[in-house]
Structure 1
Amino acid sequence: MPCLNESETLAVCIRHARTFLATSGVVGEVIVADNGSTDGSQQIAEEEGARVVNVSEKGYGAALIGGIAAARGTYVAMGDADDSYDFEGLGPFVAELRDGADLVMGNRFRGGIEPGAMPKLHKYLGNPVLSLVGRLFFNAPVKDFHCGLRAFRRESITALSLRTTGMEFASEMVVKASLTGLNIVEVPTTLRKDGRSRPPHLRSWRDGWRHLRFLMLYSPRWVFFYPGLLLTAIGLIATAVLLAGPVLIGDFGLDIGTMLYASAIAVVGYQAVLFFLLSKVYALHEGFLPASARFRTLQGRLNLENITVAGGVIFVLGLIWLVVSFVWWGGSDFGALDPSDSVRRVMPAVLSLIIGAQTIMAGLFLSLLRIRVVHPEPAVETTEA
């Protein structure tokens, strides 16, 4: 149980958890991961027979990471110490773990939410939207992404190297478990109104944005690749169509103005695709994301030489087109040209030069990201006898 000044409800939560252990025959312990309480929560926990683990680093995730590291059981259940979750109802969680699940999530929408237990903003917008994003981005079989009551196989979750220290820890656990192919199941659980007289630590908009930002950062495919690919295709196709001349759609005419915008869209889209590649490689390099077999194969081919050659070819094509445009201008004795014809002739050269240069620079930056750096251990001073 992560704890920060939960003196009003901590004792009853510990009693419920100990009752579950006693009545189910499960051998276990109750750990309170205290995050710097100043209301006597530590003493209450010890008096109720719990083991207190003091976690100095602030944050919901930091407290849980510290508690999980200190746990000695094969399985770990986690839940808030505000008396909103039913610790005596952990039987289905343990049963699923014994049947082979790695992570068992509670689903409050299936189990029941008491009136006033969840703000309407969370119930009808926050949780459904974030859970939908989680399923879409990561194919996670979870419909209540942020349920605080969950249980897991300790060795499976510690192997994920969870790092976030704030409320987004709850999302990180599900995301990494999904990406690494862990067996995730859901069981119904209930949510009741918490027993505290003070406001909760959770801040709806701030923590909701942190969760959404986390989901986006862990899915560069949806943030960069798919939108970038769509923009690149639209921009290149529109530019190619307008090379032949103006296009009339009813009473509307599309000409060089549209062509300029289309080329800009293509450049932005291509930059997003490159961002996907760079962010994905960086995430793999730093251990944030696991690598799929397909991306490992692709990454092996995307070395500095291959990317530089591809970018160089595109750049040279732009130079060739530029020379052709220059020759065409010479046919007019380098005099004034019709603006529409001029832009239409040089825009492919400009687009090729920009994309080629982007590709070459991305290749160089990618090679920097792959440099392995060894951080030496700090020297330990010794005193001679």
Structure 2
Amino acid sequence: MLINSTDRKPSFDKQDLVEVSIVMPCLNEAETLATCVRKAQSYLSENNVSGEVIVADNGSSDGSQQIARSMNARVVNVPTRGYGSALKEGIAAARGQYIIMGDADDSYDFSRLNPFVQKLRQGYDLVMGNRFRGGIAPGAMPPLHRYLGNPVLTGIGRLLFASPCGDFHCGLRGFRQDSITALDLQTTGMEFASEMVVKATLHKMKIAEVPTTLSPDGRSRPPHLNTWRDGWRHLRFLFMYSPRWLFFYPGIFLILVGLLGTLWLLPSPKVHTLLYSSTAMTIGFQIVVFALFTKVFGISEGLLPPDRRFKRFSRYLNLESGLIFGSILVLLGIGASIYAFGIWGQHSFGSLNPAETMPIVIPAVTSFALGFQVIFSSFFLSILGLKRK
């Protein structure tokens, strides 16, 4: 077993290669850290696994660093606060081919890591623990988290991304270092856990799940997790990484509802309802455009993986086609407006019956507005698509 207590990632030759690095984020975990490190070291020695234990300390003031060093664990000092920040630095410092991460509050059993290591050796990129399959001890998880928070967020994640994971927020998980490093994870807070699962799914990595247990937190102080704040951050992240569900599907729904409503209402005198249906089309179109903006930006910045279907579709979304289509809509709006103006002239520009003119004016204004949206959205998409270093 190779264990080093230096703060920086040391140099090593091929004979010093480590198979498994066990990384624990730490912020004032003096009460439970020694137990976690001891269990992790026991697992490595008892199973003849070449490994190391890394404590990614996030600015502890209770002596956690000294405890870790006294037990020959490597300490990586992480000045930037946040669960994700600590884990990213710990992962970057790890020498292992495989990494197993877990909280240092003694809620996870580091002495039973064989299921994770076996799956990693079989070639999986990410191995998630599932506490609902392995067992949650009484008092280990608040009822709000167990029956609402985790199931809802996991269900949303599975719906948005077709992920195979049944426990998105299990803190005990293993992965290949090169695979996760290639994902270029960005978040610094608790949503780091969701980002890892989402990106691994989007990049079509091999993901497995193994049962794991959850025990009550061994600390006497409250946990760092804030139920509503961190829950919202997870939910916000899931939708931000899914332009289809956040923008595209709602936009298409509004466009279809507005279009069908407009076609149904045109022959009728219900002009006020016609105004709402036309507005629905305009709003829906703008939301769909946001989906395109987000997709192009996400892919260009490496936040989202390349999408072959979107790439084929985007061939028709060039500036020239947008200008042509937008100009046609503007001309249609102008033509309908001229026609309505002619009707007004026939009445000597006096009072008009709204039921007669508004079914012409409202579609004309809608076409006019959509045309300009198409034109300027095409320019913006072209700017987003510019090649840059």
TM-score range, shorter chain: over 0.9
Q: Is the aligned partner of 1:232 residue 2:255? A: yes
Deviation (angstroms), 1:347: 1.1
Deviation (angstroms), 1:236: 1.2
Within the candidate set 256, 269, 288, 2:284 is matched to 269
What is aligned with 1:24? 47
> Secondary structure of the residue that 1:89 maps to in structure 2?
coil
**Alignment partners' CA distance in 1, 2:360 and 2:100:** 66
Within the candidate set 285, 305, 310, 2:300 is matched to 285
Q: Which moved more, 1:279-288 or 1:322-331?
A: 322-331
The CA deviation string for residues 96-128 of structure 1, in whole angstroms up to 9 with x for no partner, is 111111100000000000000000010000000
TM-score by length of 1: 0.93
**Alignment partners' CA distance in 2, 1:185 and 1:311:** 48
What is aligned with 1:2? 25
Q: Percent identity?
A: 59
Any gaps of 5 or more consecutive residues in structure 1?
Answer: 247-254, 375-385
> Secondary structure of the residue that 1:280 maps to in structure 2?
helix
What is aligned with 1:65? 88
The residue correspondences of 1:66-85 to structure 2 (distance < 5 A) are: 66-85=89-108
> Secondary structure of the residue that 1:193 maps to in structure 2?
coil
Aligned AA (2:148): L
Q: Is the aligned partner of 1:48 residue 2:63? A: no
Q: Is the aligned partner of 1:137 residue 2:160? A: yes
Q: Is the aligned partner of 1:175 residue 2:198? A: yes
The CA deviation string for residues 226-284 of structure 1, in whole angstroms up to 9 with x for no partner, is 011001110111011111114xxxxxxxx111111111111111111011011111111
Within the candidate set 83, 93, 96, 2:119 is matched to 96
What is aligned with 2:384? 369
Within the candidate set 295, 306, 326, 1:311 is matched to 326
The CA deviation string for residues 77-106 of structure 1, in whole angstroms up to 9 with x for no partner, is 000000000111110011111111110000
**Alignment partners' CA distance in 2, 1:169 and 1:300:** 34
The residue correspondences of 1:184-333 to structure 2 (distance < 5 A) are: 184-246=207-269, 255-333=270-348
Aligned AA (1:213): R
**Alignment partners' CA distance in 1, 2:306 and 2:343:** 50
The CA deviation string for residues 172-202 of structure 1, in whole angstroms up to 9 with x for no partner, is 0000000000011110000000110000000
**Alignment partners' CA distance in 2, 1:303 and 1:2:** 46
What is aligned with 2:7? none
> Secondary structure of the residue that 1:92 maps to in structure 2?
helix
What is aligned with 2:356? 341
Aligned AA (1:323): I
**Alignment partners' CA distance in 1, 2:203 and 2:40:** 30
Within the candidate set 349, 367, 372, 1:357 is matched to 372
**Alignment partners' CA distance in 2, 1:300 and 1:148:** 42
What is aligned with 1:252? none
**Alignment partners' CA distance in 1, 2:236 and 2:315:** 29
Aligned AA (1:326): F
> Secondary structure of the residue that 1:309 maps to in structure 2?
helix
> Secondary structure of the residue that 2:96 maps to in structure 1?
coil
Instruction: Give the CA RMSD over aligned residues.
Output: 1.0
Deviation (angstroms), 1:55: 1.0
Deviation (angstroms), 1:133: 0.5
**Alignment partners' CA distance in 1, 2:84 and 2:303:** 16
Distance 1:261 1:161, change over 3 A: same
**Alignment partners' CA distance in 1, 2:311 and 2:58:** 40
**Number of residue pairs matched by the alignment:** 366
Aligned AA (2:385): R
Deviation (angstroms), 1:300: 3.0
**Alignment partners' CA distance in 1, 2:204 and 2:317:** 26
Deviation (angstroms), 1:373: 4.6
**Alignment partners' CA distance in 2, 1:352 and 1:242:** 16
Deviation (angstroms), 1:301: 2.7
Aligned AA (1:279): T
**Alignment partners' CA distance in 2, 1:207 and 1:236:** 39
What is aligned with 2:12? none
Deviation (angstroms), 1:372: 4.2
> Secondary structure of the residue that 2:111 maps to in structure 1?
helix
**Alignment partners' CA distance in 1, 2:249 and 2:360:** 30
Any gaps of 5 or more consecutive residues in structure 2?
Answer: 1-23
**Alignment partners' CA distance in 2, 1:275 and 1:66:** 34
Within the candidate set 130, 136, 152, 1:107 is matched to 130
